[in-house]
Structure 1
Amino acid sequence: MLKKLFITGTIAALMTGTALAQDVTLRLAHFAAETHPGHLAAQAFAKAVTERTGGAIKVELFPANQLGSPPEQLEQTILGAIEMNLPTQGALDKYEKAFGTVMTPFAFDSYEQAHAVLDGPFSEWAGPKLEEQGLVMLSNWEYGFRNITNTLRPINTPEDVKGLKLRTPSELQIVAALEGLGASTTQIAFNELPNALNQGVVDGQENPIGVISHYNLNDFQEHLAITRHVYNSMVQVINKDVFYSLTAEQQTILREESKKAGDMMRAAVIAQEDEELAALEAAGMKVTRPHLAPFAALMGPARARVADYSGKENMDKFLSFLK
């Protein structure tokens, strides 16, 4: 049975796979700030889909967790209350464990490697698995390599991480990476993070450069270390029943425009990182760029924890894509 669509026109009946009711609005919810490349890419996606479908499909955007926390948004997408979402692999792995492997600590050396793996063998392998959970994967977008900030000291070696109290999201992969470096971790909701930093509940946190910049976390943190300990990205997904209610042409349009928007976001995130770092330094943040091999060398226990969580077969399959 088809999940409820938000229909603004007068034709309410859907003919699965052959015709779509006119003037259908598909809601796309995500967690990125309105100034972040993720939302700008979502705007480009929405505009292109409307234009290419002659207005038959309109995309309504809800950025910055307007429709709930990231886990709530994804659950609503699976249930059909929201049609589209932009979760990370760390959210998707709660439903399909294969996605848990992507955030393996120090798995990727570069954006180019990550994109080649995710768009190629990983998507071919893991993408179809999401349909069993009621989702269709449209394309990989971006979020970035994650880095550590703190108020106590610069980080130049793994020893400098030991003893730091760091806020993390709930993803086991991030927790395992930082605990593997000797930090203690605390899971705090992102909207509560500024107060936690300001009040000294934690010494620091970790996020991609774009998040640190767009949310002005330098107002609360003195030191930033480019540790790149975990890579993750947004993944555009759509409710399965909704997707297969569209015509084949409309499905193709969504896939094509999703890929274009994802590529746009990737280019923007990568291009802006140097500018954002320079702006953070100009604002007084002290940035270190440690040699990462000693950090990666300590990740054996962290990778074992990820393998236990994701499944050894899934981990072995993922690692085979990196060779």
Structure 2
Amino acid sequence: MYYNKILFGTLACILSASVEAQDVTLRMAHFAAESHPAHQAALAFAKNVEERTEGAVSVELYPANELGSPPEQLEQTVLGVVDMNLPTQGGLDKYVKAFGTVMTPFAFGSYEEAHSVLDGPFFEWVAPQLEEEGLVMLSNWEYGFRNITNSVRPIESPEDVDGLKLRTPPELQIVAALEALGASTAQIAFPELPNALNQGVVDGQENPISVIYHFNFDELQDHLALTRHVYNSMVHVVNKDTWDSLSEDQQSIVREESVAASTMMRDAVIAQEEKDIAALKERGMQVTDPDSAMFVELMGPARDRVSEYVGQENMQTFLSFLD
């Protein structure tokens, strides 16, 4: 009997070790262009994870919506068809409403403030909620403050936004901000946006500087206004079953390299932003930098709409982090 116990225990250890030794390939999808800092950070993440795990964990990257639209990629990650994803808070708030608070118009005054909140109390608040939906939150990456482009007129004040028809993604927070300024909005899929601009279906659109630059919106739009009306970032998430299948050491490495990639992307986006704006000017875009205070004064209705969407309790919790 004693011998059988020893034999059984030995076999269990061997089987456990063989399971840990199995090679794992993680499929990671995201929506950014291959030239975008997000993909460069993802490449570094994949390389470092594979090196540090000595090949036991490898990461296959699928950039630029290769595996479907952002909502489709995120759903695939929840279902485990895709292992990792880089959605924004606007995608995640369909699963956990608290994420929607981040995109409250003019919530943050700087990148430093946003990073401090998102990496600190906000992370502790939302990560457990997201895990209940089948996703483990690894780290906050970057995307940036969103700005308006159009081909009708330069924007110096909120009055210049009034009457413009602007494309937005389907996030209510962005729609609410622009409609509070008097714009009409249209939700058009990003791949269809260039044609919509060319054909005059919409007058303009809004996105972070890195997107405006890397997707050459200067070829389609005459004016860029640095409105910085909404901040959001990519969030590195992994399917919970996939995460649970990794050893503790592998989990530590993956999380550490996710944070390292976040730092890399944040540094790249912030450092590159002024260069991208200068390059857009050189390419012929007229760039304005209106006083944000004039825009903030008109955001009451937009913030009310966001509060109703995310829930008053969630909004109060988020505002407490800002205080």
What TM-score does the superposition give when structure 1 sets the normalisation length? 0.94
Counterpart CA distance in 2 for 1:192 and 1:30 is 18
Matched ranges for 1:23-102 at <5 A: 23-102=23-102
What is the CA distance between 1:128 and its match in structure 2?
Answer: 1.2
Counterpart CA distance in 1 for 2:168 and 2:243 is 34
Counterpart CA distance in 1 for 2:142 and 2:269 is 7
Matching residue of 2:196: 196
Matching residue of 2:312: 312
Counterpart CA distance in 2 for 1:128 and 1:249 is 21
Counterpart CA distance in 2 for 1:321 and 1:77 is 29
What is the CA distance between 1:80 and its match in structure 2?
Answer: 0.3
**Residues 264-313 of structure 1: CA deviation (Å, up to 9, x unaligned):** 00000000001000000001000000000010111111011111110110
Counterpart CA distance in 2 for 1:110 and 1:144 is 10
RMSD over aligned Cα atoms: 1.4
Counterpart CA distance in 2 for 1:301 and 1:159 is 16
| Secondary structure, aligned partner of 2:81 | coil
| Secondary structure, aligned partner of 2:238 | strand
Matching residue of 2:167: 167
Structure 1 residue identity aligned to 2:83: E
Matched ranges for 1:279-318 at <5 A: 279-318=279-318
Could you tell me whether the CA contact under 8 Å between 1:168 and 1:175 is conserved in 2?
yes
Matching residue of 1:218: 218
Matching residue of 1:182: 182
Matching residue of 2:241: 241
Equivalent residue pairs, number: 310
Matching residue of 2:128: 128
Counterpart CA distance in 1 for 2:121 and 2:20 is 32
Gapped regions of structure 2 (runs ≥ 5): 1-14
| Richer in helix (by share) | 2
Distance change >3 Å, CA 18–CA 139, structure 1 → 2: farther
- 1:250 matched to 2:250: yes
Counterpart CA distance in 2 for 1:127 and 1:155 is 38
Matching residue of 2:9: none
Could you tell me whether the CA contact under 8 Å between 1:27 and 1:84 is conserved in 2?
yes
What is the CA distance between 1:21 and its match in structure 2?
Answer: 5.2
What is the CA distance between 1:196 and its match in structure 2?
Answer: 0.4
Could you tell me whether the CA contact under 8 Å between 1:148 and 1:206 is conserved in 2?
yes
Runs of 4+ in 1 over 4 A off after TM superposition: none
Counterpart CA distance in 1 for 2:230 and 2:197 is 22
Counterpart CA distance in 1 for 2:187 and 2:144 is 20
Counterpart CA distance in 1 for 2:162 and 2:18 is 59
What is the CA distance between 1:20 and its match in structure 2?
Answer: 3.2
Distance change >3 Å, CA 18–CA 257, structure 1 → 2: farther
Counterpart CA distance in 2 for 1:113 and 1:19 is 43
| Secondary structure, aligned partner of 2:233 | strand
Distance change >3 Å, CA 90–CA 120, structure 1 → 2: same
Counterpart CA distance in 1 for 2:301 and 2:18 is 51
| Secondary structure, aligned partner of 1:78 | helix
What is the CA distance between 1:19 and its match in structure 2?
Answer: 4.6
Could you tell me whether the CA contact under 8 Å between 1:26 and 1:83 is conserved in 2?
yes
| Secondary structure, aligned partner of 1:102 | helix
**Residues 166-188 of structure 1: CA deviation (Å, up to 9, x unaligned):** 00000000000000110000000
Counterpart CA distance in 1 for 2:260 and 2:128 is 20
Could you tell me whether the CA contact under 8 Å between 1:49 and 1:253 is conserved in 2?
yes
**Residues 124-172 of structure 1: CA deviation (Å, up to 9, x unaligned):** 1111110110000000000000000000000010011000000000000
Matched ranges for 1:140-155 at <5 A: 140-155=140-155
Gapped regions of structure 1 (runs ≥ 5): 1-13
What is the CA distance between 1:18 and its match in structure 2?
Answer: 10
| Secondary structure, aligned partner of 1:149 | strand
Counterpart CA distance in 2 for 1:199 and 1:18 is 59
Counterpart CA distance in 2 for 1:67 and 1:258 is 21
- 1:115 matched to 2:108: no
Counterpart CA distance in 2 for 1:214 and 1:20 is 41
Counterpart CA distance in 2 for 1:148 and 1:219 is 15
What TM-score does the superposition give when structure 2 sets the normalisation length? 0.94
